[in-house]
Amino acid sequence: MLFSEIIGQQAVKERLVRSVAEGRISHAQLFLGPQGSGNLALAVAYAQYISCVNKQPADSCGTCSSCVKYNKLIHPDLHFVYPVALSKDVRVSTDVAPKWRESFLDNPYITLYNWFESLDAENKQAVIGVEESGEVLRKLSLTTYEAEYKIMVIWQAEKMNQASANKLLKILEEPPDKTLFLLVCESEDQLLRTIVSRTQLIKIPKISDTDLMNVLVESHGLSPENAERTAHLADGNYAEALLLLNENENAAQNLSGFQKLMRASLKFNPQGVFAWIDEMSAAGRERQKNFINYALHIIRESMIVNYGDASLIKLGKDEQEFVKKFAPFIHAANIERFMDELNKAHYHMERNANAKILFMDLAFKFNELLNVPKQELASR
């Protein structure tokens, strides 16, 4: 991890580089920063910089023998501790090390939720257990392999339980020679005060809106306007920005699917309907359910446009354009049945109904509903 790969945080980077240049490397440091700020990425980039054998003025070289190993997180003097879901096969971090390397390299802004998702353990408790301290001592007692320092990065240090934190404290009080502890945490109040008092604090702020906007434009191809909106919503949290990007992408896909379905059902164009069904059936079950929910959302918003204040609608720009044209097709005489059919479809989808039959049925129903005359209810 190079400093240059980390979004913004210029002041923190300069401070870290300076501490190395001036030889003031404290043996225990606490990288404290909110989720998505890059606290973990900064700790790893700092460790890499310390070990780099061809340091540049502001960054690691990226190509020396040490950097090459750091790029894959396989340097023998770099160790990690992170929360795991304890089980009979998983007692300490090392037990899931390959998964960890893969997850971090894939996304250095990884959140605890992302990490547990990749472990298939979303609902389990995240802990750094007491056995981990023994493992830390064992790793640190190994002689330094290649670098000047052995570096132990403890991610989500606040997840240490009491026993585990107490043991670590003892190690911090009498640290082994040439060893660095980089604790990475989001919330200081959950850490033992005694641990906080024995570490040097590196405070990491949220990413600035400008830095976040720039990365969204440059690396994710967003328009400046869209980048500004996303950066504002993400509030300095890059992990959140990634989540929003993913949602935007899904929304765009869903909108296009919804448009195709409505166009094909309005006058029942069989070719269009079959093409849409093929497309939808090929998607996974979760995407299909997500689409049904999306259709419910668009129909509800269309009703709001018809009967309420258009400023209340919760839609993106493309969706608003579409809904303005589509809204006249949704009215008192068909709204209830639209919702009903979609809810039923969702229900059957969850019970593994055949997607092709279900979507065909939906297209027929929509053909009927889109053509219900507006005044039908009033004339009754």
If one asks whether residue 164 binds Zn ion (CB under 5 A), the answer comes out as no
Question: What mask of x and - would describe binding to Zn ion in positions 68 to 97, judged by CB under 5 A?
Answer: ------------------------------
- Total binding residues toward Zn ion, as defined by CB under 5 A: 6
Q: Of 14-22, 45-53, 286-294, 323-331, which part binds Zn ion (CB under 5 A)?
A: 45-53
Nearest to 290 by CA among 280, 300, 299: 280
Beta bridge partners of 184: 31, 155
Q: Of 64-72, 76-84, 178-186, 203-211, which part binds Zn ion (CB under 5 A)?
A: 64-72
Between 146 and 340, CB nearer to Zn ion: 146
Do the Cβ atoms of 31 and 1 come closer than 8 Å? no
Non-local (6+) Cβ contacts of 25 within 8 A are: 19, 50, 149, 180
18 by DSSP, 3-state: which? helix
DSSP assignment of 39-69, as one string?
A: HHHHHHHHHHHHH-SS--SSS--S-SHHHHH
Nearest to 245 by CA among 257, 233, 256, 236: 233
CA separation for the pair 168, 30 (Å, rounded): 14
Between 53 and 357, CB nearer to Zn ion: 53
- Which residues 203-222 are close enough to bind Zn ion by CB under 5 A? none
DSSP assignment of 281-297, as one string?
A: HHS-HHHHHHHHHHHHH
Between 54 and 161, CB nearer to Zn ion: 54
110 by DSSP, 3-state: which? coil
Distance, CA of 226 to chain centre: 19
If one asks whether residue 61 binds Zn ion (CB under 5 A), the answer comes out as yes
- Which residues 267-306 are close enough to bind Zn ion by CB under 5 A? none
Beta bridge partners of 164: none
Between 52 and 202, CB nearer to Zn ion: 52
If one asks whether residue 2 binds Zn ion (CB under 5 A), the answer comes out as no
Minimal distance, residue 79 CB to Zn ion, in Å: 19
Q: Of 46-54, 91-99, 296-304, 308-316, which part binds Zn ion (CB under 5 A)?
A: 46-54
Q: What is the DSSP letter of 160?
A: B
Between 63 and 256, CB nearer to Zn ion: 63
The correct pick among 7, 52, 207, 222 for binding Zn ion (CB under 5 A) is: 52
If one asks whether residue 121 binds Zn ion (CB under 5 A), the answer comes out as no
Q: Of 52-60, 236-244, 286-294, 368-376, which part binds Zn ion (CB under 5 A)?
A: 52-60
If one asks whether residue 60 binds Zn ion (CB under 5 A), the answer comes out as yes
Q: What is the DSSP letter of 201?
A: E
Minimal distance, residue 172 CB to Zn ion, in Å: 28
Strand ordering across the sheet containing 78-81: 78-81, 150-155, 179-185, 28-32, 200-203
If one asks whether residue 20 binds Zn ion (CB under 5 A), the answer comes out as no
Between 146 and 321, CB nearer to Zn ion: 146
Q: Of 62-70, 86-94, 131-139, 345-353, which part binds Zn ion (CB under 5 A)?
A: 62-70
If one asks whether residue 51 binds Zn ion (CB under 5 A), the answer comes out as no
Non-local (6+) Cβ contacts of 297 within 8 A are: none
Between 66 and 230, CB nearer to Zn ion: 66
If one asks whether residue 64 binds Zn ion (CB under 5 A), the answer comes out as yes
What are the residues binding Zn ion (CB under 5 A)?
52, 54, 60-61, 64, 67
